[in-house]
């Protein structure tokens, strides 16, 4: 037999939304359970009944986020076209709320060393290049052999993060430069190795 009221999924959603908004506004370090409770219009005890600590709440807020992080990408008919389409999609995402949310999460990497590992483990990140992009390029003969699609993740996030930290826009010119001058040459070299 259970006592008390059943959990209200609308309240959970309000709490998780408030947490994401505050992370985007204030960063991980600036997020407090008190601030989330005030933003969500609920009590701290309601939050602590669901999540024992700030870290758990942040990971739950991240897991619940369905923003624009699906990794699908269109087949444009060329590796360059696919990478440009994917890069532009990422630029659009990170120029908005997703970018502010991501930077706020990054603050937690230094505040809580195990947090970065948990974020990566629990992330349905939109920065992962779908392996199908590489597969199609190999099938079309654009790459002489398979390339680890994670090479994209070694290059692009660092450039995107630096640009965001400087307050610079992720515009089409930037995407073209990253794909044409950095990613494609790296893929071509890795594919011929």
> Which tens digit of pLDDT belongs to each residue from 54-108?
989 998 998 888 654 555 567 999 999 999 998 888 888 888 888 888 888 888 8
Query: Is residue 54, in this structure, part of any structural domain at all?
Result: yes
pTM as predicted: 0.72
Which of residues 64, 90, 111 is at a domain's end?
Answer: 64
Query: Is residue 4, in this structure, part of any structural domain at all?
Result: no
Residues 131 and 183 placed together within one structural domain of the fold: yes
Instruction: Give the pLDDT band (50/70/90) at residue 1.
Output: very low
Write the CB contacts of 51 (distance below 8 Å, at least 6 apart in sequence). 57, 60
Instruction: Give the pLDDT band (50/70/90) at residue 3.
Output: low
Query: Is residue 162, in this structure, part of any structural domain at all?
Result: yes
Residues 57 and 92 placed together within one structural domain of the fold: no
Write the CB contacts of 59 (distance below 8 Å, at least 6 apart in sequence). 118, 119, 122
* Structure token digits, residue 120: 């990566």
Q: Measuring CA to CA, which residue among 164, 4, 153, 34 is closest to residue 93?
A: 164
Is 113 a residue whose pLDDT tops 80?
A: no
Interatomic CA distance for residues 193 and 145, integer angstroms: 8
Task: Please give the tally of structural domains in the chain.
Answer: 2
CATH number at residue 129: 1.10.357.10
Where in the sequence is the domain holding 38, given as residue range(s)?
Answer: 9-64
């Amino acid at each position: 037999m259970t006592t008390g009221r059943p959990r209200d999924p609308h309240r959970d959603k309000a709490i998780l939304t408030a947490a994401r908004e505050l992370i985007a506004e204030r960063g991980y370090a600036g997020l407090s359970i008190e601030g989330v409770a005030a933003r969500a219009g609920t009590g701290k005890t309601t939050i602590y009944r669901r999540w024992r600590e700030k870290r758990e709440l942040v990971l739950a807020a991240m897991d619940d986020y369905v923003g624009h992080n699906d990794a699908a990408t269109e087949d444009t008919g060329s590796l360059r076209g696919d990478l440009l389409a994917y890069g532009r999609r990422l630029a659009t995402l990170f120029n908005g709320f997703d970018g502010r949310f991501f930077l706020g999460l990054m603050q937690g990497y230094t505040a809580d060393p195990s947090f970065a590992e948990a974020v990566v483990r629990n992330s349905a990140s939109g920065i992962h290049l779908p392996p199908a992009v590489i597969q199609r390029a190999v099938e079309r003969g654009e790459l002489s052999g398979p390339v680890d699609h994670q090479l994209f993740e070694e290059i692009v996030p660092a450039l995107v993060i630096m640009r965001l930290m400087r307050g610079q826009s992720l515009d089409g010119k930037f995407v073209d430069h990253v794909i044409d001058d950095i990613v494609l040459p790296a893929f071509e070299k890795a594919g011929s190795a």
